[in-house]
Amino acid sequence: MDRIKIEGGNSLNGEIPISGAKNAALPLMIASLLTADRLTLKNVPNLADVNLLARILRNHGVDLAVDGKRAGPAMHLGETFHLTARDIVDTTAPYEMVSRMRASFWVLGPLIARMGVAHVSLPGGCAIGTRPVDLHLEGLKALGADIDIDGGYVIAKAPKGLVGNRVTFSKVSVGATHNVLLAAALAKGETLIENAAREPEVGDVAECLTKMGVKIEGIGSSTLRIQGRDSLEGAVHTVLPDRIETGTFALAVAACGGDVLLNGARRSDLSAAFDILQKTGTHVTDTNEGVRVTRNGGGIEPVTVETQPFPGFPTDLQAQMMALMTRANGTSVIRETIFENRFMHVQELARLGADIRLHGDTATVIGVSGLRGAPVMATDLRASVSLVIAGLMAEGETVINRVYHLDRGFERLEEKLSRCGANIERVSAG
């Protein structure tokens, strides 16, 4: 099993290309199930989760052809996927695949909408607390799906098709919004989704669906009005840049000091996080090419952070911010309101010398004068990259084990960091 080895202490200077957003690429790929025509997606990142979903979609009958990256300054414009689901040959998404990646559960809505039946395993994914699918199922039931759960599988039927309706979520859920939005595209009549997730990735999927012929009002707001179609057309769509990768590298620059251009990044997708980052003493500047992040080596100021649905501070940057705050000049408070059990990185940061006190959903981070390298273990995707940031700050060598978590969500992480001066390398087992 591969490991990441880091010798800390170097500043970061240069340019990092921002890849396409994993959290948009996955539902966009799933949207291919809605049409018999070809859906072309540009800027798809080469990630383990993307490759796993490609296998799942092929299992359903999706034909997938991939164009590689273009060399040169546009290398961050990733792979191009051509997906054609002319015939759905299997409406079952098996446990052995869905259990490995939660987002694959989102095939449920498109399969019911197009085929009138679906057998989809209950999901798995990162171990960051229980994330029930009740909102997904309630939303699909509102559109007329008959749903049972048997043997760990959701068995959904709508032999006469789905019918548009009002769907009001009791709380904001990105996954449930994706599932119902995709299903509503082929439902008869109008669907109104209230308390919809506002994340840019949801908007990106909605923009793609409009290119496929669906009329959608309220994109980017908490109320989506969808006019369903009997059939959808093919389209060409470019995946938006990954705001979580953007924020992660911005926090790495803040941790190490330096000057880095995040090429292709969009500040508007991460305003709350950048506002807090600037309070730490880090400078964030818009440019024609992306976002420039600089810190001149001065001290890191402590901050108070509370994770919130978009447009608030993203839960997917909580662990990375905590790593930065381990070296702040004072005490920081980080409250996690989205997922329980998302502080598993705390004990690993403590191995590097961090002083973090947990009380319920709140972490109090007392800044220390220095971290020291040590062997650590990645527990989930975002926790693993927080250990990378801590290792970049630490004196001596840090070895991060179980880095397959990183490969699920970060494309060429060590290569991007090493090009900016980090002493980081992947070590293959054996």
Q: Residues annotated in the binding site for phosphoenolpyruvate, as ranges? A: 22-23
Number of Cβ within a 10 Å radius of residue 148: 10
Q: Up-side HSE of residue 425: CA atoms within 13 Å toward CB?
A: 6
Q: Annotated binding site for UDP-N-acetyl-alpha-D-glucosamine, which residues? A: 102, 131-135, 171-174, 316, 338
Cβ(345)–Cβ(372) under 8 Å? no
User: Are the C-beta atoms of residues 297 and 308 closer than 8 Å to each other?
Assistant: no
List binding-site positions.
Answer: 22-23, 102, 131-135, 171-174, 316, 338
User: H or E stretch including 406?
Assistant: helix 404-409
Instruction: Using CB atoms within 10 Å of the CB of residue 89, give its burial: 0 to 12 exposed, 13 to 18 middle, 19+ buried.
Output: exposed
Helix (H, G, I), strand (E, B) or coil at 312: coil
DSSP H or E run through 43: strand 38-44
Contact between 27 and 197 under an 8 Å Cβ cutoff? The reply is no
Determine the length of the chain. Answer: 430
Name the residue among 47, 44, 99, 68 with its Cα closest to residue 405. 47
Residue with tokens 């798995």: 124
Q: Is 208 a catalytic site residue?
A: no
Residue ranges of E strands in 142-271:
146-150, 153-157, 166-168, 190-194, 215-217, 223-227, 235-238, 258-263
Which of the following is catalytic: 126, 208, 256, 420? 126
Where residue 122 falls (left for φ over 0; alpha for ψ -120 to 50; beta otherwise) is beta
Contacts of 66 (CB under 8 A, 6+ apart): 79, 80, 81, 82
Q: Point out the residues that are catalytic.
A: 126
